[in-house]
Structure 1
């Protein structure tokens, strides 16, 4: 009897001890909530797809650009950033208004947000020639109207003009102010990207934005695009001079940012961009207080376009986790 009692006592003690150990290992309710919150934490930004990422798909492979909304949706994006000249043939065939109406219908069908239109080929808003500059302003107005109809918040414009800062600054201020005045009546922003020449000189571009001094005139900082001079003075081609500190340039342009472009060119075996420190850049974006869309703009030629887009998207999400 004594032996049985002793065995029962030892057995109860072991059960109690094991139970206590299991209880100690069990995470608290707060720890469980914290872990779940970390796993489910969303980035501080939303993801849009810049149509230029797929320019070879649409221009060379003849994929219908009206499929853009569905393609972006299938790849996990929420927003769309259009490139105007990708629709040149459709505009010639169907007419301007019909194309914009179709894009609007398709974006709604796929529950996508239209974010902005990147406008090229409509004249130089920074031209030293006032007649050319004024014509460029007039040419851009239809894209302001299109952005309003689509529910975009902005158009992105080019400001090449001249490589002479003294001539460029008053010219670009005049062009931007005239277009922004019209765009304000449509509640649309006019955004300058660091897109080459003096637009990639961050302090000078910020000086221009400050001189325009309008709430709807701002910047679209691009992670790349820091070439201020190209061979033989061409707008595109071999770069002979880059802005010396792209991270300082991004930080400066973020002070007036209403959109952000995540440029990428190539990736290493760990999925990191080979020329750009994404965690460092995203920390700058977050610290600036920006919480809008970041547009994925893959511009490499080693990976197929869709693979490059997804690699950029994954790197953005991974980098966001590393700085949260």
Structure 2
């Protein structure tokens, strides 16, 4: 770490703490999280994407992430690299990462992982393009190591042809995992659309990589394997048929978990996802790490959705065997 970079980061943190607010205050009408008599078998982290509108549309400073997560009772932080694009452009990569490290320590938060977007396709059929994507991801491996994270989540787009995808993604993942192993960082594949959401195909690719630090990040949502006109995002044409079986398979290699939710009924249960069933599977798998809260609904505010997921996870933990 360069001395000048550290000075800039500390100066930025001091400036942030001198301001009472970096944007509009996030409001909530949800009651405080229900207290539990015993701690759950997992720890709770907040996925930064849950607050993407807060940061990207409402103008709240993304450097306030640790503070906001702490206020809502979370222990861990799951960063999204693209949320800091403007800060990286204006302040520099090292200043941003150093600032996040200082802020997380100041608020007593554990940095868990970084979700990486926009750094190239690790499953591109062209080896030259895959290698470029691997190189682009290396700085985020270094950043995760500096922050004290355990892993980064990568995307595996490039082709949606299984015959091309498995050897291509296995090559990209193995090259990146080899570098990440030197930093004690795990490379995680989420069911994040296309063939990464076709779990048997994904697990076949993970087996091809066959490295201890290459694993999965099961997401409760994200089950679209084919979209209209071959787009990565957009109208879904085909959904993986059994998300519960898919999650069970992914749990065999899970090093992080994303509890995604969209909406809730009058009893606080997710309207399309059986949380207690999944939490039972998580416990049966022996997983005891962080579960990240990721709200992607539209009816509730981001704050309300985050606390609703947190409540539901804690309630589900009470009923599992």
Q: TM-score, normalised by structure 1?
A: 0.88
Structure 1 residue 40, shift from structure 2 partner: 2.3
- What is the rounded CA distance, in whole Å, between the counterparts of 1:165 and 1:310 in structure 2? 38
Q: How does 1:1-324 map to 2 (within 5 A)?
A: 40-324=37-321
- What is the rounded CA distance, in whole Å, between the counterparts of 1:311 and 1:135 in structure 2? 40
Alignment RMSD (CA, Å): 0.9
Name the residue aligned to 2:9.
none
Name the residue aligned to 2:23.
none
- Where 2:103 maps in the other structure, the secondary structure is helix
Count of residue pairs the alignment pairs up: 287
Structure 1 residue 59, shift from structure 2 partner: 0.3
Q: More helix by proportion, 1 or 2?
A: 1
- Where 2:112 maps in the other structure, the secondary structure is strand
Structure of greater Rg? 1
- What is the rounded CA distance, in whole Å, between the counterparts of 1:212 and 1:323 in structure 2? 33
Runs of 4+ in 1 over 3 A off after TM superposition: none
- What is the rounded CA distance, in whole Å, between the counterparts of 2:36 and 2:180 in structure 1? 42
Ranges in structure 1 where 5+ consecutive residues have no aligned partner: 1-37
Seen in structure 2, the aligned counterparts of structure 1 residues 272 and 140 have a Cα distance that, compared at 3 Å, is same
- Where 2:111 maps in the other structure, the secondary structure is strand
Ranges in structure 2 where 5+ consecutive residues have no aligned partner: 1-34
Q: TM-score, normalised by structure 2?
A: 0.89
Q: Deviations over 1:64-86 (max 9, x none)?
A: 00000000000000000000010
Q: Deviations over 1:189-245 (max 9, x none)?
A: 000000000000111111111110100000000001000001111100111100000
- What is the rounded CA distance, in whole Å, between the counterparts of 2:289 and 2:267 in structure 1? 27
Bigger RCO (CA 8 Å, 6+ sep): 2
Whether the aligned pair in 1 keeps the contact of 2:36 and 2:314 (CA below 8 Å) is: no
- What is the rounded CA distance, in whole Å, between the counterparts of 2:231 and 2:181 in structure 1? 33
- What is the rounded CA distance, in whole Å, between the counterparts of 2:55 and 2:128 in structure 1? 34
Name the residue aligned to 1:23.
none
- Where 2:259 maps in the other structure, the secondary structure is strand
